[in-house]
Amino acid sequence: MNFPKNLSDKLEIRRQNKSLRILPQPNDLIDFSSNDYIGFSKSEAIFNDTHQFLLNYNIKNNGATGSRLISGNHTLYTETENYVAQFHQSESALLFNSGYDANVGFFSAVPQKGDLILYDELCHASIRDGIQLSNAKSYKFKHNDFEDLEKKIVNFNGNSNDNSNGNEKNAIIYIVTETVFSMDGDCPNIEELVAISEKHNSYLVVDEAHALGVFGEKGGGLIQYLQLQDKIFARIMTFGKGLGCHGAVVLGSDELKSYLVNFARSFIYTTGLSPHSVATILMGYYHLEEDKKALELLRDNIVFFNQVKKMLYLSPLFIRSKSAIQSVIIPGNEKVKSVAIALQQNGFDVKAVLSPTVPEGQERLRFCLHSYNSKEEITNMLTLLSSFVY
């Protein structure tokens, strides 16, 4: 079958740059690559509880049958959204089919023409895709650089008084960041960011995809851990990481929920999640309430990992992180792939992150830590890494 030459050429460039993506095969290596931070995706207890919950409520539907605005808004949605809102100390919660859907739906619908979106340059692709679909103006600020952020706010506010510039005097400013960045694993100073947003009467939007199940006494995320939930306009939580299942939620006011139901196209024009998927989310939250051991094991492993990498003089190669994501910079696609392969051949599932996913020269190994990784596994893996990079 014929294939367009311009597309073939793009694939060939990827091959030549050693950056062609292929789907990996399942393996039985020691897991240092998945986002299953507290092991919920493998939890037999959650699996069994979900099954029993559906039996108890006599729910035997395999699918939602339509969008939530037509026939797909089954009763489990209301119960789950109410529980999730209460868990996260939010006025409301609206479930989306995925984190990608939530970010694209939110950012394409909420900021309006004449508004301004200022987003961290390392924000996830789903955030940037949503912003591209928005009619608002958008600019990125340097990673976790709030001086650069404030300069852009002041510049916009100054220009907004000049109608010839096309700005409106009452334009809304949205500041967008993540509590844990997916490639670096670092965290911004959220308290400082809240102060800046209040100073400039702007709206703060935070993606907590990699903080759910990691931060907070019950794994509620970094915002709740800092008790700043009332200062945030919207929080986006995704369930494919710490909660070990699928879907996402936008947390905010009742009015925000109503607005998204009416204007977020990725919510309106898609079939809802199945009852089984929604029940799994609810059971996952039940277990977050109860299963503190997994959270403690993960936090212990994060501390231990940082101690061992310091002992092995690896710290200078790593991006500073106190989260479950730890990244060591090894420039060059070929070089970082060779180290990843060597670790895999020794039994450790570690993935290389290549350019263009990250900027050229910032290629890295991305280690994801879990509650089920043993201290011995961490020590052996880092010792091997040390022998490969020094």
Q: Which of 258, 283, 290, 268 shows the shortest CA–CA distance to 93?
A: 258
pLDDT at 186: 97
Shared domain check, 224 and 110: yes
Shared domain check, 177 and 324: no
Tell which of 267, 290, 313 closes a domain: 290
**Count of CB atoms within 10 A of residue 222's CB?**
23
Shared domain check, 224 and 178: yes
Question: What integer is the mean pLDDT of 59-65?
Answer: 94
Strand order in the sheet with 364-368: 325-329, 364-368, 351-353
Q: Does a structural domain hold residue 47?
A: no
Q: Does a structural domain hold residue 46?
A: no
* pLDDT band with cut points at 50, 70 and 90 for residue 171: confident
Check: CB of residue 77 under 8 Å from CB of residue 68.
yes
Arithmetic mean of pLDDT over the chain: 95
Shared domain check, 242 and 312: no
Shared domain check, 226 and 98: yes
Q: Does a structural domain hold residue 44?
A: no
Shared domain check, 298 and 254: no
**Count of CB atoms within 10 A of residue 187's CB?**
20
> Domain with 322 in it: what CATH number?
3.90.1150.10
pLDDT at 160: 61
d(CA 73, CA 144): 39
* pLDDT band with cut points at 50, 70 and 90 for residue 165: very low
Q: Does a structural domain hold residue 314?
A: yes
Phi and psi based region of residue 232 (left: phi greater than 0; alpha: psi -120 to 50; beta: remaining)? beta
Shared domain check, 322 and 268: no
Shared domain check, 144 and 225: yes
Give the tens place of pLDDT for each residue, 99-135. Answer: 999 999 999 999 999 999 999 999 999 999 999 999 9
pLDDT at 113: 96
pLDDT at 157: 83
* pLDDT band with cut points at 50, 70 and 90 for residue 360: very high
Shared domain check, 322 and 259: no
What's this model's pTM, rounded to 2 decimal places?
Answer: 0.94
* φ, ψ for residue 265, nearest 5 deg: -65, -35
Question: What integer is the mean pLDDT of 155-184?
Answer: 77
Q: Give the amino acid at 297.
A: L
Shared domain check, 268 and 310: no
Residues 6+ apart with CB under 8 A from 187: 179, 180, 181, 222, 321, 322, 323
Q: Does a structural domain hold residue 263?
A: yes
Question: What integer is the mean pLDDT of 22-51?
Answer: 96
* φ, ψ for residue 378, nearest 5 deg: -65, -45
Check: CB of residue 329 under 8 Å from CB of residue 317.
yes
Domain extent, residue 346, equals 25-38+292-389
d(CA 185, CA 241): 13
Tell which of 265, 290, 315 closes a domain: 290
Number of domains in the chain: 2
> Domain with 140 in it: what CATH number?
3.40.640.10
Shared domain check, 239 and 193: yes
Residue 197 has pLDDT above 90, yes or no: yes
Q: Does a structural domain hold residue 169?
A: yes
Q: Give the amino acid at 270.
A: T
Percent of the chain with pLDDT over 70: 97
Question: What integer is the mean pLDDT of 302-313?
Answer: 97
**Tokens 């108890």 belong to which residue?**
56
